Structure 1
Amino acid sequence: MASSQWVNLASRKYVSWEAAGVERIPPGEEEDMRAVIAQISEMQRRQYNKARHCYGGTHARTQGIVKGKLVVPGDLPKHLKQSELFREAGEYPVACRYSSEPGDPGLDAGVSKRFAMKIFNVKGEMFDAGRDYSTQDIEFNSTPAIELADAKTTREVLGIRLMYDHDKAEMYKRLKERPDYELQVSRDKAPNTHLESMRWYSQTAYRFGDYIMKYRLVPSTETQTKLAEKTVKPEDAEDILHRWLQNFHYNYDAEFLFQVQLVENLSEQPVEYAGVAWDEKKYPWQPVAELIIPKQESFSYARKSFWEDHMRLDPVGTTQYPRLCRQK
């Protein structure tokens, strides 16, 4: 990025995470969140009854697990030197998992994909839940906005999915009755492409030191960007995403830019409602780190079993990124 652009972006007025109006707790949110916890538990119970193994409530299908490093440069401008993670130059080991919906681990290539990253050797002030671990968990999804836009919406939509999980036509009929139907089916329109070509988004807002951000990963090699031309076809095998990913990581290094998008206007960049993407032309993404994943075998049964049975990812309960949106 040119220095003149840095000067321009550094001089903009970013909203403090403590500013008035950032957090507006809607009525009944605590009750909605307790209901959502029960719904996710029910999803896990149903998965267990099928597979006799307990998986996460969503994105249960592991597509690949890889190791790499997150590289933070030392020349970030002051407004991006937020939290201990980005304040100074450093390299951090990471473990990453690619996964997909639906919740049933025996099915592949649902419309929603996830990329999760556990960063090791992170120092700094921790929440109580993560005080004993020098790690930072970061999760991404395949679309910039999420249809489960707040606690109330999440409770209502998960209720529909649970009630009609074996009757897709009836489920969509019920969703069509909702005023946010277009949002609810927006994930169905996401391109089903090679996982290594995808951009990965936080979807919801987080605290970023003094400010508020969303974050994303952007593939930064020519090989990765060209893979966006590969889309899943009806005749492809159900494990095609896994096979594509395995072949890529066996033959190529992967690189991603880690970028943040800072809040400048609360009316146009809602923090409590995650159903809209923030305009990236008005509020540009700014790079703060690079994720580098060297060539390796991306599908090890030992890694898969360890992650699914022993790893816990909790972006809220560790350090650096206390989520301002509390809906999930």
Structure 2
Amino acid sequence: MSFIPLTAYVDSLPPDFEATEKRLVAEMEAIMRSKTRTEGGGRAIRGAHAESHGIVRARLEILGDLPRAYAQGIFARPRGYDAVVRYSNGVAHIRADRLLGPICGLGLKLFGVRGPATLDEDDDAQTMDLVFFNTPTFFANTAHDYLTIQRLIETLPDAMSTPLLRNHFLQELLTSGGTAEPENWLWDELLSFLSILDLGRQNLYLYTYWSVGAFRHGDYIAKLRVRPTEATAAAVVHREVNTVQDDEPFRDTLVAETGERAHEFVLEAQLCTDLTRMPVENTSVEWPVSESPFVPVARLSIPQQDISAATNLEAADATAINPWRTREKHVPLGEINRVRKDIYTRSAALRRKINHQPVREPAHPSDVLRWRGPSAPPG
């Protein structure tokens, strides 16, 4: 199998990218300040993945004897990293689970990662973040389209509550808020969003999570995913997420499973073999495994632990996960990933300022997990 070298990918941005990005960040900050008053009760909440389900201590072990193309960057040789994993809901609201959709996120923060950080704010921090979603595609690909879709995201999941609202939402998405000509309608993005509607609710340990966007993988281009091992998938006891009988079933089943047994997952890489069939700039298209299979590169272990305390949710909320907090050999690629860089960074900075949360990156998982609110910051 022949993999596309990184040098074959040309990173290009539209002329209006910077202006559009500035508008996006300004709108995001305005929305956050407004919701601090109206929904957060004086606390700033995220513009996406606002509802934390919990944060757990973990360990990532890089596998040995990987094929050369996969043994790149932090995966070049076997070693272990202490880590934390934050689980969250994908929308921008804090509500009971029955009032939220099924999109969920997995944010992985590694500790002890050597090398210069790619975010200026991190200075000498030895952390590295990976961001995953329980869907393989995303429904925005350009800064211009994301400007429209950010406004639409604010209306979820309420926008799906009636046929009239749902049709309006889908029309706005398809036409990029009425700005796209029919030949440029966002069909891939619309199909990506519709696929999300088919997601079922289940224990967070049972989902497969994808990186969605493409990343540099040393000399190559890759997407990543995290999936439970067969043993973990079979051993999960609290499988049902019942939003009728329980307001917070995602949180409650996560607490129960984590408190009763350990769980293991496989981190896999899929290398690009064809920039047409496996595009970098179109995250709404799933890369076919028939072109390039996912190959295990690491094992993620979550030991049995008690995460039932309310302070666990405080710690999850205070933890900033940014896909651009990485190393040069793993930088995100594509326009939508460039958009995420400024949005994630500025959003985290504003949220930490309003909520009096720590600004510096933690040095160890214990710095994250012992968070007790602004009166006792970690470190």
CA distance in 1, matches of 2:313, 2:321: 14
Match of 1:47? 35
CA distance in 2, matches of 1:158, 1:44: 12
Between stretches 232-241 and 257-266, larger displacement belongs to 232-241
1:1-328 → structure 2 map (5 Å cutoff): 12-19=1-8, 21-49=9-37, 50-51=39-40, 52-83=42-73, 85-108=74-97, 109-129=100-120, 130-162=122-154, 168=160, 169=162, 171-177=165-171, 178=174, 179=185, 180=187, 181-225=190-234, 227=236, 230-233=239-242, 235-309=244-318, 311-319=319-327, 320-327=329-336, 328=340
**Residue deviations 1:85-107, cap 9 Å, x none?**
11121111001111103322233
Question: What's the % identity of the aligned pairs?
Answer: 23
Match of 1:3? none
CA gap of 1:82–1:221, structure 2 versus 1, over 3 A, is: same
Between stretches 163-172 and 255-264, larger displacement belongs to 163-172
**Residue deviations 1:254-278, cap 9 Å, x none?**
1010001111100001101111110
**Residue deviations 1:301-325, cap 9 Å, x none?**
333323423x322221432421112
Alpha-carbon distance, 1:242 to partner: 1.0
Which ranges of structure 1 fall in alignment gaps of 5 or more residues? 1-11
**Residue deviations 1:40-86, cap 9 Å, x none?**
32342243122221122111111111001100123112111101x11
**Residue deviations 1:210-229, cap 9 Å, x none?**
11111000100434246599
CA gap of 1:231–1:38, structure 2 versus 1, over 3 A, is: farther
TM-score normalised over the length of structure 2: 0.76
Which ranges of structure 2 fall in alignment gaps of 5 or more residues? 175-184, 341-379
CA distance in 2, matches of 1:305, 1:229: 24
CA distance in 2, matches of 1:92, 1:122: 8
Do 2:238 and 2:257's aligned partners in 1 also have CA atoms closer than 8 Å?
no
CA distance in 2, matches of 1:95, 1:149: 29
CA gap of 1:89–1:154, structure 2 versus 1, over 3 A, is: same
RMSD: 2.3
CA gap of 1:189–1:76, structure 2 versus 1, over 3 A, is: same
Paired residue secondary structure (1:115): strand
CA distance in 2, matches of 1:73, 1:163: 42
The residue type equivalent to 2:3 in the other structure is Y
TM-score normalised over the length of structure 1: 0.87
The residue type equivalent to 1:263 in the other structure is C
**Residue deviations 1:112-132, cap 9 Å, x none?**
100101100011243252341
Count of matched residue positions in the alignment of Structure 1 and Structure 2: 314
**Residue deviations 1:13-39, cap 9 Å, x none?**
2112221x4423234322332232233
CA distance in 1, matches of 2:170, 2:256: 39
The residue type equivalent to 1:175 in the other structure is F
CA distance in 2, matches of 1:249, 1:271: 36
Do 2:133 and 2:209's aligned partners in 1 also have CA atoms closer than 8 Å?
yes
Do 1:147 and 1:187's aligned partners in 2 also have CA atoms closer than 8 Å?
no
CA distance in 2, matches of 1:277, 1:259: 15
Paired residue secondary structure (2:147): helix
